[in-house]
Structure 1
Amino acid sequence: MPLRLLAPAGVLLLVACTSAPPPAATAVAAPEQPVPEIRPGRLAGYLAAAAIPDSLVLVPAPPAAGSATLAQDHAVMRAALALRGTPRFEQAIRDADLDFPFAAGSFACALGVGIDAQRTPATYRLLRRTLADAAVSTRTAKEQYQRPRPFVENGEPTCTPEDEQALRGNGSYPSGHTAIGWAWALVLAQAVPERTDALLARGRSFGDSRLVCNVHWQSDVLQGRFMGSGTVARLQSDPAFRADVAAATVELAAAREQGLAPDRDCAAEAVALAEPLPGAL
């Protein structure tokens, strides 16, 4: 697999329950234990396979033919196709890239600080490991339903043509990219709660980029958010995850004090993300 619904009240509840960091004076940096790679460049997650929320159990079947939900999926698809060639489309290309170190900067503008392996190692590790957990959470439903992606139906190109062959054989529902982006938004909001609104907005736009890319349906994205939320809820009981969040809280505060700037053009990103996507939920 190439890697590049939660109601608002539920989001706020999850953030509220998990956002209180330990006092900076008593927080201790997480020990740097070796983390195995599940494949070259991709770290293992925090959770054992049996502990990861199961999308086949948790999400409904994809929208049925003739349903209002499927009609909504098609309406949003048409609106998203109209964004080709705009700054929003260019942002969607960037959001498709889940490879590190580039992906570490995906939320830097929303966070207000840069993230890299040298100066913010715990945060960098946190993003890499939660990526694996969130991605796996969508796998069983993807494999069961094998929902064709929008570009397969409409014949229009995507924002990552190099991935299209692989995507044809990978189920669209629910969206793994969205689960990852939403999990990152929640985890970073836990570490830096004063940036919660900006981070959640960025998490939503990260998933919406999959609509703009013509590789996911609206319902894929909504259920991807749900699985991202469930994964982060389950992570709260993992000691290594909690240690990395505590360490990230301390190092991100220090990075802000040191003026560690985002590595992205935040003004251009803001312009791109201001582009409306009619009908998106």
Structure 2
Amino acid sequence: MPLLVAGCSLSERRPDPRSLSAPSPPQGFVTAGQIDAIAGAHRPAPGPTSADLAADRGTWEREGQTPGTDRWYLAIRHVELRPAFAPQHFDCALGTRLGAAETPAVIDLFTRLGRDVEAVWQKLRAARPRPIDIGTDRTACIRLPEGDSGHGWSPSGGAALATVWAEAVADLAPDRAEQTRRIGREIGLSLSICGLAWPQDVAAGERLGQAVWQAARTDPAYRALAEAARAELVTARTDPLENPACAAERLALRS
């Protein structure tokens, strides 16, 4: 998935010839017609504009979000957006620990929703410099990979992923919907804190994620997989052990 994952693009990886005969990965839930309709209703933002620069500077200078703070280190963790690991961002909101071995249906749900976001995002994305690319004195919160393309995308694919996943988790655990949706928003903010996306592109990505979610949730295949994932969450939440990173997250997100 060539969306933002630890600041790099997976689309640049060479295929492993050993995997050429492997089964095709599972598809998403959104139909081709829905993909076209969503892509047609959303547009990449122009810029960066003076408003982008001002909003970014506000993010960069806001107390508690500067390099070396607790929120900065949480942003570093949030940049990990691979579906196999992203569910762990919601551990603290749910009061449990999610993992591939214990919650395979949750991982599958994240993977397939990610493919829906990817399909729409590929149709409408536009390259634009990131805050760290244009001499804003910004420092990326992660080590960028060798051969980094030097630009980001509008809308933010990472924010779209965070939003669609947060909505899915809120659907699975409605008693924790407010908390999980907050984490989705905080992941988008983390991309801005890291200098990897303009606030305007994060907001556009969140709108895109909402649109993908509304389309995906109508698919019977989604409902069937969601039921399996919900059962996994019920079991997982009976375990009193929490993710050891939760104390740091609470500290970073305290008001």
**What is the TM-score of this pair, normalised by structure 1?**
0.74
Matches within 5 A, 1:108-123: 108-123=91-106
Contact 2:83 2:107 in 1 (8 A): no
Provide the residue aligned with 1:253 in structure 2: 234
Deviation at 1:59, TM superposition (A): 2.8
For 2:24, which of 32, 36, 46 is the aligned residue? 36
1:270 aligns with 2:254: no
Percent identity of paired positions between Structure 1 and Structure 2: 30
Provide the residue aligned with 2:142 in structure 1: 160
1:205 aligns with 2:186: yes
Contact 2:39 2:120 in 1 (8 A): no
> Secondary structure at the residue paired with 1:159?
coil
Cα separation, partners in 2 of 1:194 and 1:65, compared to 1, 3 Å: closer
Cα separation, partners in 2 of 1:238 and 1:167, compared to 1, 3 Å: farther
Deviation at 1:195, TM superposition (A): 0.4
What is the distance in 2 between the residues matched to 1:79 and 1:164?
28
Provide the residue aligned with 1:30 in structure 2: none
Cα separation, partners in 2 of 1:155 and 1:49, compared to 1, 3 Å: farther
Cα separation, partners in 2 of 1:164 and 1:141, compared to 1, 3 Å: farther
Deviation at 1:256, TM superposition (A): 1.6
For 1:228, which of 209, 229, 239 is the aligned residue? 209
| Structure 1 unpaired stretches of 5+ | 5-33, 38-42, 276-281
Count of matched residue pairs: 236
Contact 1:77 1:150 in 2 (8 A): no
Provide the residue aligned with 1:73 in structure 2: 55
> Secondary structure at the residue paired with 1:3?
coil
Cα separation, partners in 2 of 1:238 and 1:172, compared to 1, 3 Å: same
What is the distance in 1 between the residues matched to 2:37 and 2:122?
8
1:73-128 CA distance string (max 9 Å, x none): 34434426961111111111111112354323111111222212222221121112
Which amino acid is the alignment partner of residue 36 of structure 1?
S
Deviation at 1:131, TM superposition (A): 1.9
Cα separation, partners in 2 of 1:54 and 1:194, compared to 1, 3 Å: same
| Structure 2 unpaired stretches of 5+ | 6-21
> Secondary structure at the residue paired with 2:153?
coil
